[in-house]
């Protein structure tokens, strides 16, 4: 049961990496642009504004379904995080200056 809950938590956390963000942005622009052009021509050739609206809304819904959920292919290149430093090790080599005066 814990394994199932962990898988569900992983899906709903929404973790995507930087490459996944770039891919999501590219998909957004591409799908919305293509659906806009298709919607325009669908309405122009049929001379019906409803065809334009429905085609545009369909493209928007498709974009929403592909981009908004955190699909696993958006997290194929995760960045490793540095381990946290504690105690004196965390402040070793750090100098803080305030108004030109060294504080630590």
Domain ranges of the chain: 1-78
Distance between CA 30 and CA 56 in Å, rounded? 13
d(CA 73, CA 52): 31
Count the residues in the chain. 104
What is the 3-state secondary structure of 37-67? Answer: HHHHHHHHHHCCHHHHHHHHHHHHHHHHHHH
Query: What's the confidence (pLDDT) of residue 8?
Result: 74
Q: What is the pLDDT of residues 84-94, one digit of tens each?
A: 767 666 666 67
Q: Judge whether 28 and 67 are in contact, CB under 8 Å.
A: yes
Q: What does the pLDDT read at residue 88?
A: 65
d(CA 87, CA 103): 18
Kindly tell me if the per-residue pLDDT of 42 is higher than 70.
yes
What average pLDDT does this structure show over 31-40? 97
In 21-49, which positions are buried (b, 16+ CB within 10 angstroms) versus exposed (e)?
A: eebbeeeeeebbeebeeebeebbeeeeee
Position with higher pLDDT, 96 vs 72: 72
pLDDT tens digit string along 5-23? 777 776 677 788 899 999 9
Q: How confident is the model at residue 50 (pLDDT cuts 50, 70, 90)?
A: very high
- At residue 89, the pLDDT reads 62
Which one is predicted more confidently, 94 or 44? 44
């Amino acid at each position: 049961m814990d394994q199932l809950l962990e898988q569900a938590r992983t899906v709903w956390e929404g973790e995507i990496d930087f490459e996944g963000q770039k891919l999501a942005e590219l998909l957004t622009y591409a799908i919305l642009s293509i659906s806009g052009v298709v919607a325009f021509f669908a309405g122009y050739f049929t001379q019906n504004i409803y065809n334009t609206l429905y085609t545009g809304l369909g493209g928007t819904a498709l974009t929403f379904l592909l981009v908004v959920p955190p699909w696993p292919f958006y997290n194929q290149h995760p960045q490793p995080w540095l381990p946290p430093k504690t105690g004196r090790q965390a402040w070793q080599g750090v100098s803080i200056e305030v108004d030109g005066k060294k504080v630590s």
